[in-house]
Structure 1
Amino acid sequence: MAQASPSMLPPWRQTGDADGRWPLLLASPHSGRHYPAALLAGSRLSLMQLRRAEDAFVDALLDGISGVPVISATYARCWLDLNRAADELDPAMFDGVLDVPAVISERVQAGLGVIPRLAGYGLEINARRLAVQEAGDRLAALHRPWHDRLAGILALARARHGSALLIDCHSMPSPTGVRPPQIVLGDCHGRSSHPAIMTAIEDHFRRLGWRVARNSPYAGGHTTRRHGQPTSGIHAVQIEIDRALYLDPHRLTLHSGAGRVRAAFTGLVQRLLADWPRLVGPAPFVQAAE
């Protein structure tokens, strides 16, 4: 784990064996519930309003998984969004000229950059502009270590198995429309994962009776784009689950459905492990001799 100062909470909680013995890695980047004092003191919002940005308790849905590594963020998404590129920054949020790169993407324009401006529609987080140093400090403390850790675990798994899969776990507000999806799988429209993996994951959730969609309205974020490189043997799939399946979205408390969702994730891991060689076929590269 990344080195933290004595006053800093570790950037993530990790369970399972991260030494390459398993070809899978599960991550929950948006379920962190640590709200630094500086965020609370400088925000115009209440804690409950800030928590609207969380993928609340997604980490708890992964608690039934043993052996396979699971990594969950500890810091709140309102402090830093691990599923955004490091340069997705809004210069207007800061009190001077940024000393790190900034790209005004559509997400930044919507207030949802790597350091978010909004916790939800119309919910402006900060009461004043942030110090310029905040951007670099937060990225160095949380963003780089997180993605380095994911990459390191995946590299060990690929070295041992010839391929590896990252499952990036999220929750979504209940979609609208006639029979909307309850599970949305994202593989960047086929660019971040082998199609057989997506088919297996979709089939798993459909067999459990849930409606499943691919890449709409969520096709995958920075994590799937950065780490999913199927031609190099590393696959990445984003899973979005309807919060209503396991959570009271107004009180942010788990309800009885959480047990079913937890069992679904545990069963998915078991199925993928059992089917892994068949799903990905032979290793897509020749390993150099030691």
Structure 2
Amino acid sequence: MAPASVCHAFYRYGPDVPQSPLVISVPHAGRNYPASILDHARNGRESLERLEDRLADLLVHGLISAGHCVFVARPARAVIDLNRAENEIDPGMVSGAPFRAPFLASAKVRGGLGLIPRRLSSIGDLWKGPIAWDEVERRIAQYHRPYHSALDRSLAMAHERFGLAILLDVHSMPPLSLGQESAPAVVIGDRFGRSAGARLSSLAAEIATAHGLKAAQNHPYPGNYLLERHGAPSRNIHALQLEIDRSLYLDASLRWPASGLARLQRIVLELAEGLAGELPLEDFAQAAE
């Protein structure tokens, strides 16, 4: 499907002005690996691909066909994580940073998954050495800021036209194992009610359950920076994260599409359009309180 526009940071599909309250974001499916990134990787491209929400952009093809406003990140997550704040940086992995740089030592950073991912538990450090500070700033300016500015604009236009806006941030997750308990296939995140009205989160879970998918809310994925930045339910701007078990649409290697993809595309379309059409406009703010 040809995008309506392309920039360094994203592919945008759909009309310039959203035709529904819904705006879709797919921040972790980017597959653009510049040569300089691969040259700096300790273990090659395959190790970096483990960071991806592998082929999660395929999940939203139904939404693209239906004419919704969809943003799909171009840079790989190894290049920059668009679901992190600009200052979620491990100071130990950069060189030449300003002395008083306001680094945020979040739990994600401490786990190696900051704005520039540093390591994965299964393979260790991702890079041969530190990354120059001016390179970090370049990636922020080229990828991070344009992506979020574009989401801001589209949500503002949707809100102006419909009186509300809903950001649906689409991710995929590895199959979960929660001891003896049956693990969820779908996790709906709303930062424990801080980024969206509870009625929306419940509806998303209900739609997934109606299709035979076990759904959880906020556990273990409540959502991160994208929801924190863009969700403002008191102003009728809602942001939800949708995590889908990637074994439902990928093959046994979790790398390539499998027969379940078409079913998941239909479910994602029904879920998204259910969110967009559920509540009368005047009810949204009240439901968020």
TM-score, normalisation: structure 2: 0.91
- Deviations for 1:240-271, whole angstroms, at most 9, x for unmatched residues? 11111111363511110111101111112332
Whole-Å Cα distance in 1 between the matches of residues 170 and 122 of structure 2?
22
Name the SS for the 1:165 alignment partner: strand
Trace 1:129-148 onto structure 2 (pairs within 5 A).
129-148=130-149
Percent identity, aligned pairs only?
Answer: 36
Deviations 1:30-68 (A, max 9, x none): 000011111101111221111010001111110111211
**Structure 2: how far apart are the matches of 1:10 and 1:64?**
24
Unpaired segments ≥5 residues, structure 2 = none
- Evaluate the alpha carbon distance shift between residue 214 and residue 283 of structure 1 in structure 2; reply closer, same or farther with a 3 A threshold: closer
Partner of residue 108, structure 1: 109
- Is 1:124 the equivalent of 2:125? yes
Equivalent pair of 1:52/1:120 in contact (CA under 8 Å):
no
How is 1:78-227 mapped onto 2 (pairs within 5 angstroms)?
Answer: 78-98=78-98, 101-119=102-120, 121-177=122-178, 178-227=181-230
Q: CA deviation at 1:227?
A: 0.6
Distance 2:39 2:22 in 1: 39
Helix, strand or coil for the counterpart of 1:259? helix
Q: Distance in 1 between matches of 2:166 and 2:110?
A: 31
- TM-score norm. by structure 1 comes to 0.90
Does 2:29 match 1:31?
A: yes
Q: What is the alpha-carbon root mean square deviation over aligned residues?
A: 2.0
| Counterpart AA for 1:14 | R
CA contact (8 A) 1:16 1:69 kept: yes
Q: Residue type matched to 1:261 in 2? A: L
Q: Check whether the contact 1:91–1:98 (CA below 8 A) recurs between aligned residues.
A: no
Q: Distance in 2 between matches of 1:273 and 1:227?
A: 17
The equivalent position to 1:55 in structure 2, one of 37, 53, 56, is: 53
Paired with 2:126 and 2:241, the residues of 1 have a C-alpha distance of 26
Matches of 2:254 and 2:162 in 1, distance apart? Answer: 43
- Equivalent residue for 2:267? 264
Q: Is the 8 A contact 2:33 2:76 kept in 1?
A: yes
Report how many aligned residue pairs link the two structures.
278
User: Aligned pair in 2 of structure 1 residues 58, 216: CA closer, same or farther (>3 Å)?
Assistant: same
Letter of the structure 2 residue corresponding to residue 174 of structure 1: P
Amino acid at match of 2:274: R
**What residue identity is the alignment partner of 2:56?**
V
Match of 1:287 in 2: none
Give, as a single letter, the amino acid of the residue that structure 2 aligns with 1:223.
Answer: L
Contact 2:165 2:237 in 1 (8 A): yes
Tell me the secondary structure at the aligned position of residue 207 of structure 2: helix
